[in-house]
Amino acid sequence: MISFKNVSKRYPDGYVALNNIDLSVEPGEMVFLTGHSGAGKSTLLKLIAAIERPTSGTITISGQNIAQLKLGAIPYLRRKIGFIFQDHKLLFDRNVFDNVLLPLQIGSFENHMMVSRVRAALDKVGLLKKEKSMPIALSGGERQRLCIARAVVHRPSILIADEPTGNLDVDYARDIMAMFTSFNQVGVTVLIATHDASLLEDTQHRVLSLKQGKLAA
Interaction residues for other proteins, span 129-188 (CB under 8 A): 150
203 binds other proteins (CB under 8 A): no
91 binds other proteins (CB under 8 A): yes
Shortest spacing between CB 68 and other proteins, in angstroms: 19
SS3 helix, strand, coil % of the chain, rounded to 5?
40, 25, 35
User: Whole-angstrom Cα distance, residue 95 to residue 118?
Assistant: 12
111 binds other proteins (CB under 8 A): yes
Q: How far apart are the first and last CA of the chain?
A: 21
Interaction residues for other proteins, span 39-58 (CB under 8 A): 46, 49, 51-52
10 binds other proteins (CB under 8 A): no
How big is the site for other proteins, counted in residues (CB under 8 A)?
27
Instruction: Give the distance, in angstroms, between the CA of residue 29 and the centroid of all CA atoms in the same chain.
Output: 14
User: Whole-angstrom Cα distance, residue 56 to residue 34?
Assistant: 23
The most distant pair of C-alpha atoms in the chain lies apart, rounded to whole Å, by: 50
**Residues near other proteins (CB under 8 A):** 46, 49, 51-52, 72, 75-79, 83, 85, 89-93, 102-103, 105-111, 150
